[in-house]
Amino acid sequence: MHLSKETLLIIKKALNEDINTKDITTCLTIPEGLKGQGIIIAKEKGILCGIEIAEEIFKSLDTEISFKNFKKDGAFVEKGEKIAKITGNLRTVLTGERVALNFLSMLSGISTVTKKFVDKVRGTNVKILDTRKTTPNLRNLEKYAVSTGGGLNHRETLFHGILVKDNHLKASGCIINSKLDKKKVAAMIANIKKNTSIKIEIEVENISEFIIVADNHPNIIMLDNFTLPDLIKTIEKRNKSYPDILLEASGGITLKNVKKVARAGIDFISIGMLTHSTQALDFSLDIL
């Protein structure tokens, strides 16, 4: 992972947030200049992510710190496995400990759950996507964790793709009395195509909405919270009448049902929980 200026700034802010002006406890208990070693250990199995960020945290506090990682991002780690060794000033090791472990835990948790979804759909052509349901200011890191786990990134920002959702349809007047208006939808999509070459994705909530939107041939249609039977019917309709349109399933996708959704013949599955509610992977740092 190349640490961008944005990532370096995030690290700096995280350290400032945690340390403020001084690590009082460490300064009052550890003699200045005392050297030693610390080992980062995985406390549960999963996919490692954020090891270079952890290294940068310690080295940004003390350039003389030695950080040796035993695993790279994307590697599987077992419970109890040693991940990295930090050698140098013990004040630095203890001061940087929590921030480093927080990043490792958060990002590895995202990579781990992403890998579980990717493994569930293995053997199909489905691509697992993340969403914009990310932690403010940490999106790039969280999306990096998704890619480390084998998933793909949806649009990075609002500028990087067109995704017309239900509120856009309502606000633009395309929904009248809870139903899509064919003429207004056609006019809206035509206007988008006239003004940009960016791929167009439209969200629909049922089969009738799908047909109205598909008649205007956007690049992708998102099937939001479709039941499995309706999903299958829609995919069959796409295959027969609109083969040029890609389909994305979203909403209510879990590890229990993702394989059935994938086998239905969908192209993409977007999962918000990859980033918005993933459980962290636990790590510890032990002084030797």
* Residue pLDDT, tens place only, 158-170: 999 999 999 999 9
Q: How far apart are the C-alpha atoms of 150 and 225, rounded to whole Å?
A: 24
Q: Are residues 39 and 75 in the same domain?
A: yes
Q: Are residues 101 and 210 in the same domain?
A: no
- Is the CB of residue 216 less than 8 Å from the CB of residue 190? yes
Query: What local confidence, expressed as pLDDT, does residue 36 receive?
Result: 97
Q: Are residues 144 and 206 in the same domain?
A: yes
Query: Residue 1: pLDDT above 80?
Result: no
Average model confidence (pLDDT) across the chain:
96
Please report how the helices 90-120 and 139-148 are oriented relative to each other, as an axis angle in degrees rounded to 10. 60
Q: Are residues 186 and 264 in the same domain?
A: yes
Query: What local confidence, expressed as pLDDT, does residue 2 receive?
Result: 79
Q: Distance of CA 167 to CAs 155, 174, 243, Å?
A: 18, 10, 27
Query: What local confidence, expressed as pLDDT, does residue 177 receive?
Result: 87
- Domain holding 57, by residue range, is 5-110+279-287
Q: Are residues 271 and 283 in the same domain?
A: no
Q: Which of 43, 165, 182, 259 is catalytic?
A: 165
Q: Which of 97, 130, 142, 203 is catalytic?
A: 203
Average pLDDT over residues 86-113: 98
Q: Are residues 187 and 64 in the same domain?
A: no
Task: CATH number of the domain at 168, please.
Answer: 3.20.20.70
Query: What local confidence, expressed as pLDDT, does residue 239 receive?
Result: 97
pTM score: 0.94
Task: CATH number of the domain at 49, please.
Answer: 3.90.1170.20
Q: Which of 55, 142, 224, 267 is catalytic?
A: 224
Q: Is 127 a catalytic residue?
A: no
Q: Are residues 145 and 263 in the same domain?
A: yes
Q: Which of 59, 133, 237, 259 is catalytic?
A: 133
Q: Are residues 59 and 161 in the same domain?
A: no
Average pLDDT over residues 232-244: 97
Q: Are residues 157 and 223 in the same domain?
A: yes
Q: Which of 59, 71, 82, 98 is catalytic?
A: 98
Query: What local confidence, expressed as pLDDT, does residue 150 receive?
Result: 97
Query: What local confidence, expressed as pLDDT, does residue 253 receive?
Result: 95
Q: Are residues 124 and 102 in the same domain?
A: no
Q: Is 165 a catalytic residue?
A: yes
pLDDT in tens, 167-188: 999 999 999 888 999 999 999 9
Query: What local confidence, expressed as pLDDT, does residue 227 receive?
Result: 96
Q: Are residues 138 and 270 in the same domain?
A: yes
Query: Residue 125: pLDDT above 80?
Result: yes
Q: Are residues 105 and 124 in the same domain?
A: no
Number of domains making up the chain? 2
Q: Is 203 a catalytic residue?
A: yes
